[in-house]
Structures are given as structure tokens and as C-alpha cells.
Structure 1
């Protein structure tokens, strides 16, 4: 890929929906990829005839923010906007029509795109979709689509701020979770474990403010296992957060396809449990031998570099890994009939 892949970025589309990356917050993955892709001299070509892949640089977050009427529960105008965009590039360029869009890709992290494939089904059906919500039950296509790591970036100027955590010998908390009660699973987790066991630091939402955020981070840095339950959708930013703070992620989300699964063996650095095992959570974690935990924690530290954003991309970082997954799926995907 390093020496072969070339990407053409469509210049069509106006800001803020297109070409305006969001570098901070819950949906930062799509923004960081956009910024680094648009700034790449290694992969980007100006002549589309030399390209292997075609990038449609829109922000799902800005699409929702700009066009969605709050509390309307109606996304018709969002669908129409993407429909008109895809029809425009299909009419203006020959590249879409020769493959039905199969060599085109989008990168999106907002729930409305990730959880509602109907929004893009008819006019972007064959595109490669890099999505944070990699849920096989709502239209995520294995072998075509890409599971995009959801990364919560707290400082756009320094995405690596507070990176790392305590060594295993200083991690005196067995398991930690704190967060909003999104979806049906998190209330079950909190009801089962909050204030039930001193080694299980399971909380609901933490108070707002800098001190609370630092407390959250310090808990992750001091915990052996960080619980990553699904929210409204199957994905959770805690998976990458756990890796960021060198805490072994415990993923509890049926039907979730982990990021970069075609490259990594997630069993080497995480625990993946079915949702029904929440009542047995402590028993399962305590039963893991010390040697196994040390191997898992070492595995987290080994893969950490692949889940990091940098102002200037480094080989094998999250930008390169995401682009590799897109390229891999294009090379090996089943072509549309």
C-alpha cells in the first residue's frame, strides 16, 4: 500500500458539510482522517485517472448539525443532500459509473450515518463505508465496510495528551466504568455493580468539570480492566480510550465488529464478553490468571501505536491503519453484480 495506493479526493461539496474536519470530541475520527487525507502528499493524486480509490470528504457530524431539524426525527433532507452529491459526481466524472461506486469510500462516525444505512443505501450502496458503528445487524457489510475506531480526542492541538498509564503493579482497581446511561445495557451494568463491590468501580455519569474529567482519566490509568459496554449503538469510545491509557478493554456489545479485526487478534489484548455475562463480570475477571492479565496488558501496549492520531502521520498509526483497511477491502471485496 505504501508504494502503490493513490487516492483522489473530490473537490466538490461546500463547507461546512464537506472539507471541514472536526478535530475534537466524540466524532473526531472522521475529522482527523479527513485532515490527514487531504494533507497527504504520499497518497493523494490530483489526476483522478491515476487513482485506485476515490474519497468523498464529507463530515457526518456537520451534515447532521447543519441540516437536521432538532427533535424532528426526519432525516429526509440529509438523505437528499447526499443523493444530490452522489448524482453530481456521477454526472460530472466517469469514475463512479464504471464501478457503481465500489472504488469510492466515505469515513463517518456520527450515529445517524452509522446506524441508519438507509440514508445511503440507494445512492451509496456499493461504496466502502468506514463506520464507527460496525453493527452487522443494521447493514454493516463484512468484507466491504471498515470498522472505524471511535476516538474521543480531548485536545485537538495535542491528541496524545495524557497518553499512557500506571504499570500493572500499580493498577489497584480491578474494573472501572463511568458514563452516560445510553441504551439498554449500561443501566443494567450500573444497577448490577454500582456500590456493590469496592474492587468494581462502576458508576453512572460523572459530574461535569475539569476535575471530574481528570478523575475519569486517573481511574482508567489505575485500573486493570476498563469496561466498554455498548451505548445506543454497538460502538463505544472507551475501547480506544482503554488502549490509550493502557487498560485492558472489556468489550460488552453483541454484534460489534472490532476495528482493524482483519489485522489484529483482539483476544490478545482485550476481553470480549456477551451481554448476558454482566452478572458474572467480577467472577470472570478474577478468574483470569495473573500471567494471562500481564500478557493482555502487554498486548495493549504493543497495539497502542496503531490507535493514535498524529499531526503528521506516522507509519502504522491510526491514519495508515484505517486507510489500509479501506484498501484491503477494496482489493478483496466481492464486486457488485
Structure 2
């Protein structure tokens, strides 16, 4: 009996041990599965998706309650930490989730009749686009991606022209760059163009950043462009989990980044390129001649031989490249120009563009042209120009699939439209579209129209030379922020120059790589430099519009793309615009002498911004501010077009290029 009891006890002990072992194995297996699942979920469902293109570095806060990019406290960043390669990303949208407030798809967009008081908002908050940031194979990212399915976009099929240059940058490609860990959230886009070349050789009396030597820069700026330094960059692999509140615990590796040398075309070189474009351009020979061609050749001759006008009671002639030619060209446009508008195309992509927000230029132009009896014709044989009446903004709203990272269906829709026109009419086929034009303010418009409308005159807000903008053919379209369609001139004007106490002002979202750098140098650093991220309404505090009306200089720093509504806003509020956006072609470039009323600062010279502005004599500033007030008439929308207003100036730029391409 004792033996039998002992045997049964041994069996029970073995059973217990076996069950315990099996349980332990199951626990280990479950933990392994949970760990793998966590990594997968972290990769697939992270709220802060990151997609980039062109060797850029960006981080979006993974907090589910925030659609704003996180910005690193300026105190935690070294100057050298801010240098990286250029991010070429389209403005305003990441994976269907806006970087700015108030964005949504059509059902939630503010209606035409909404006249809520939004005069004090950052202009890029109003009607942002649904954009994606793309990632290529050469990119390392701070953060975790939802997936690796982002579509790589092909690089541009062109290069900037090589210009004669004897002035080199302080800093050459191939540096290692360090973005060190910090206790606060990482910078939205820790990226700056490597070695932007200073092509300014003859600044003359014009004000721009190249007029100052690098010896005037502070120590931080010298460190930024020192050749002998070898900073490193710490990057986070895509498989690492990110703590929402800090990145200091993320393991990082050092990796050398080979950066392509990027050419920066100065405003003076743009002037030369514009002139050479007229001399070198070879017009598309029509398949058959017409009376219109002969008429335009006569117009060209009359403009070239216009009588010299040295003074004019209505205009400051110094605002123009050639005032005599401009005035004669404008007069001939009013007398002769006829435009045919295609009726084809379904709404809202065609014939129904936005009239409010940052894309309003394309809407107001279409609305006012279609109601203009002077310029319209229904006889194709009499038309000098043919208008393709689509809205780049409505095209994106209607057809872009969130998270698809593809614009193929948008391009296909435009291609189908062109094919319809070609099949139905001979007008396109006569010149292969060279006498056709479009007006588009969306950031994607250059890429969408680059091939299918290659010969057309393209009036674009995004006038980046890297994106294929062509002098002598394409037209720089003003990006105008219309807050009230019923009263587009609301709050027009500002204080006289003697009452503008603030040296410089900027406020806006941290779009792109440049603005965080601007804030790192100047936010809360100098009482004369009112540089902010977002302004919030608070009792007793100055509003966005009040700052612009009270500042001497308004900083127009690029966002994700080179264009910004702040350029026109500065003129609207009679503030001298300071444009910080390399390779940006400003509006009406073929007509206006921008250096007479605006300041151009190279992106690399942000550390020297205050010195540049203070170097401008008071008499020069006063003259520039007066010229801003004089040039303002060319940038204003009216309920009905007014002579020399923005509608007529857009049309004149298109007419001008049509005449000189004949």
C-alpha cells in the first residue's frame, strides 16, 4: 500500500511539472507573438506617418489629437543640426490628413457665402490641399512609417541651366550631418539645402542677401557653413518604435549622407534668363497659317518699337522692366485680343473653381474672363488664345484618392480632356497647343501639366525653376488669399512708413524645411524681429493682419513649395516683402522690376537676416514702401475687373508670351 501510494504521488508530481512546463512554453510563445505583433502594428498603424521624397527628413507628431507637425525647441538645436538635403514636397497634406487646421474633403469645405471673420489667420490655414509627402530609396526618417508602399515619384526630366559663376558657397556636398537626440519632440523637417550657390554677381543698388559678405554673419552662421567640420547625422530606422513624448531613448546609427550639389539661381540671373529666352526661343510652326498669326507679328513689331515714356502721371516707371513696352502691349491687348473658352468639361473640375482661399486666383480669373465681352469670342478663327477652363484645386478634390500616393488618375483626366478637344476641334492640332493656356494655383499643377500640356502657356502659382517653369512661355501667377468673395478688398492697406515700428514679421505653420530654421534663429531672439509659428487670437494681443500692417518688412518664407500667399499679402497690407525662397519666379516677372520694391534673401543667409534688413538705408526703405503702394493695384481683385488690376495683369502676361512666341 505504501509503495502504491508513493508511485501515485510520483505520477502526480510529474503531471504537475509537465503542466507547468507546458504553461511556461505557451506563455513564452504568446509573448513572442505579442512582441512581433507590436512591431507590426507599430509599423502599420502609427498615427504619425512619414513619407518623403528627394532625400528629406521629416517628423509628424504621432499624437492622435494633433494634426500639426512637432517642432523642436530652438534652444535644443545646434546650428549644424539644421543642415540636410532639400525636401521637395508639395504643400499642405499628408495621407489625407491636413497639416493645417480646417482642411477636409468637399463636404466640409467652407462655402462661398461663408463670410466668417478669418482675416487674422495664417493664409495657408484656409483651404489647404490634400497632398502627400513621398519617400525615396535614399531617405532615412525620424519616426515610424505606416507602411512601405509609398510610390516613388520620378525626378524632374530637366536640369537648371549652368550659369557662369565665380562666387562659390562656403560649404560643399558630402558632409555628414548630425541631428542629435533631444528631450522635446523632433523638428518637423530638419533639412536645409546643401551648398546653395551664390550666383549674384552684380547686385547694383538692389537689395538682396548677396550684397553682404559672410564676415557679417554670427558665429553660429560661420559654423553652419564651415568646410572643415564633419557633422554627423543620427537617423532612426523605420522598425524602431517611437515614444510619443520623446525620442531621446531611440537607438540611432550614424550614416554618411551624400548630398547632390544644388544650383540656386539669383534674381539677377533670372533677369538674364528671361531676356535670353526671347532670343533663343523657336516658335512652334503652325501646320497652316492664319490671319491671327500675321496680326500677332504686327503687334510684336509695334511693341518692340514703342515710343519711349520716361514719366507717367499714373505710374512709377521704375516699377517696370520696360514701361514703354508694357503700356503699349497692354493697350494693344485691350484693342485686339480675343480668347476662345472651351465649353467642354464637367463641373466642378471644369468651369467651377474656388473663389475663396489660397487657390482663389484660378477661380476669380475664370469667373471674370467668362463674363468679359471685350475679350471673348465664339469664333475660333478669330481667337489669339484658347483657354482650358479647369481648376487644379477641384481636380484634386474630385479625383485624388487619400493615401494612394498617386496622381495618375488626375493626369489621366486632363489627358482625356485634351484628347477630346483634339478630336473635336482643329484648334489644338494647328499649333500642338502652343496658343492654348491654363491658369492653375495648386502645387501639383506643374507636374500634372508638364507632359500633356507641354506646349501650352501655363500660368502657375508654383513657379519653381526645378519643377520646369520656362521663361518666355510660362507665366508666374499671383497666389492671392481671398478671405471674402463678397468683398475681396476687405482690410486693404496699412500704416504709413513712419508708424511701422516692427522691423520684420512672420507667422505661419511649420511647412517644409525652411521655416523651422527661420524660427530657430529668430523666434524670441530679438525684439525687432517678430518671428512666430502660429498666432492665436488673444485679448489685447496684435492680430496677424495688425502685425503686417505695422511692420516694415514682411517675411515671405517658402513652405513645402516655393510659392506663398504672403508675397501678395505683404503688398496688400503695404509691407515690403522679403522673399526667402530659392528659385522662385515672382508674379508678372516679365513686366515688373521686383528688385525695386522687394528684398530677396537666399535661404542660406537666414542667419544674417537682420543685418541684411538693417543695411538698407532709411531713404531706400521709404522709397520701396512707397513703390509697394504704387504696385499694389496690379495685385487686387475687384468685383468687376478694373484697368491694370490683377485679372488684366494675368491676362496681359499670357498675351505677352503669346505675342513673343509667334
Interval of TM-score (by shorter of Structure 1 and Structure 2)? over 0.9
Q: Distance in 2 between matches of 1:332 and 1:229?
A: 32
Q: Is the 8 A contact 2:353 2:393 kept in 1?
A: no
Q: CA deviation at 1:264?
A: 1.0
Q: CA deviation at 1:112?
A: 1.2
1:170 is matched with which residue?
499
Q: Is the 8 A contact 1:206 1:212 kept in 2?
A: no
Q: Is the 8 A contact 1:225 1:249 kept in 2?
A: yes
One of 216, 232, 248 as aligned partner of 2:576: 248
Report the structure, 1 or 2, having the larger strand content. 1
Q: CA deviation at 1:279?
A: 0.4
TM-score w.r.t. the length of structure 1 is 0.95
Q: Is the 8 A contact 1:131 1:148 kept in 2?
A: yes
- Cα deviation digits, residues 47-71 of structure 1 (max 9, x gap): 1221100001100000000000112
SS in 1 for 2:654: helix
One of 110, 130, 135 as aligned partner of 2:464: 135
Q: CA deviation at 1:46?
A: 1.4
2:603 is matched with which residue?
275
SS in 2 for 1:111: coil
Residue 660 (structure 2) pairs with residue 332 (structure 1) = yes
1:34 is matched with which residue?
366
Q: CA deviation at 1:120?
A: 2.1
Q: Distance in 2 between matches of 1:138 and 1:311?
A: 33
Change over 3 Å in CA distance of 1:268–1:70 after alignment to 2:
same
Q: Distance in 2 between matches of 1:3 and 1:256?
A: 33
Matches within 5 A, 1:78-89: 78-89=410-421
Matches within 5 A, 1:88-167: 88-114=420-446, 116=447, 119-167=448-496
Q: CA deviation at 1:21?
A: 2.4
Q: CA deviation at 1:262?
A: 1.2
Q: Distance in 2 between matches of 1:211 and 1:8?
A: 52
One of 496, 512, 529 as aligned partner of 1:183: 512
2:629 is matched with which residue?
301
Q: Is the 8 A contact 2:354 2:360 kept in 1?
A: yes
TM-score w.r.t. the length of structure 2 is 0.49
Q: Distance in 2 between matches of 1:64 and 1:4?
A: 35
Q: Distance in 2 between matches of 1:108 and 1:159?
A: 19
Cα RMSD (Å) = 1.5
Q: Distance in 1 between matches of 2:527 and 2:604?
A: 22
Change over 3 Å in CA distance of 1:145–1:212 after alignment to 2:
farther
Q: Distance in 2 between matches of 1:213 and 1:160?
A: 24
One of 66, 82, 89 as aligned partner of 2:398: 66
- Cα deviation digits, residues 114-156 of structure 1 (max 9, x gap): 3x2xx22332110110000111111111110000000011111
Change over 3 Å in CA distance of 1:128–1:213 after alignment to 2:
farther
Residue 342 (structure 2) pairs with residue 13 (structure 1) = no
Change over 3 Å in CA distance of 1:254–1:212 after alignment to 2:
farther
Residue 561 (structure 2) pairs with residue 233 (structure 1) = yes
Q: Distance in 1 between matches of 2:384 and 2:660?
A: 13
Gaps of 5+ in 2: 1-332
One of 40, 57, 60 as aligned partner of 2:389: 57
Q: Is the 8 A contact 1:25 1:152 kept in 2?
A: yes
Q: Is the 8 A contact 1:136 1:142 kept in 2?
A: no
1:219 is matched with which residue?
547
Q: CA deviation at 1:101?
A: 0.2
Q: Distance in 2 between matches of 1:263 and 1:75?
A: 33
Q: Distance in 2 between matches of 1:289 and 1:212?
A: 33
**What stretches of structure 1 move > 4 A for 4+ residues in a row?**
209-214
Q: Is the 8 A contact 1:152 1:237 kept in 2?
A: yes
Q: Distance in 2 between matches of 1:210 and 1:150?
A: 28
Structure ID, larger Rg: 2
Residue 592 (structure 2) pairs with residue 264 (structure 1) = yes
2:354 is matched with which residue?
22
Residue 643 (structure 2) pairs with residue 315 (structure 1) = yes
Of stretches 57-66 and 68-77 in structure 1, the one that deviates more from structure 2 is: 68-77
SS in 2 for 1:105: strand
